[in-house]
């Protein structure tokens, strides 16, 4: 019985750790889009940030550019 509990913990703990790390990575990845939405930027500015963010999956530098744009763009009233 004790061996079964150890196997259960050894199986579930890495899976939960992977899910937690994946959640954090997704939150960080979506940061420029969330910032743009919270600032109520114009539609074309938000679309630019979204495109650059998703292109960041293939070329990481575009994610950094999207983050800089999300910080630099002025709030739309």
φ, ψ dihedrals at 2, nearest 5°: -65, -35
Comparison of pLDDT for 75 and 11, the residue scoring more: 11
Q: Encode pLDDT of 5-38 as tens digits.
A: 667 778 888 899 999 999 999 999 999 999 999 9
Q: Range with the lowest mean pLDDT among 17-21, 63-67, 71-75?
A: 71-75
With CA atoms as reference, report the closest residue to 77 among 20, 39, 47. Answer: 39
Q: Where are the domains of the chain?
A: 2-72
DSSP state for residue 58 in the 8-state scheme: T
Three-class SS state of 59? coil
pTM of the model: 0.76
pLDDT of residue 4: 62
With CA atoms as reference, report the closest residue to 68 among 43, 23, 35, 25. Answer: 35
With contact defined as beta carbons under 8 Å apart, do 42 and 76 qualify? Answer: yes
């Amino acid at each position: 019985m004790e061996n079964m509990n150890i196997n259960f913990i050894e199986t579930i703990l890495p899976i939960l750790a992977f899910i937690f790390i994946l959640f954090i990575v997704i939150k960080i990845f979506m940061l420029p889009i969330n910032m743009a939405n919270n600032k109520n930027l114009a539609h074309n500015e938000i679309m630019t940030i979204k495109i650059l963010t998703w292109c960041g999956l293939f070329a990481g530098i575009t994610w950094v550019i999207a983050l800089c744009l999300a910080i630099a763009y002025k709030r739309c009233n």
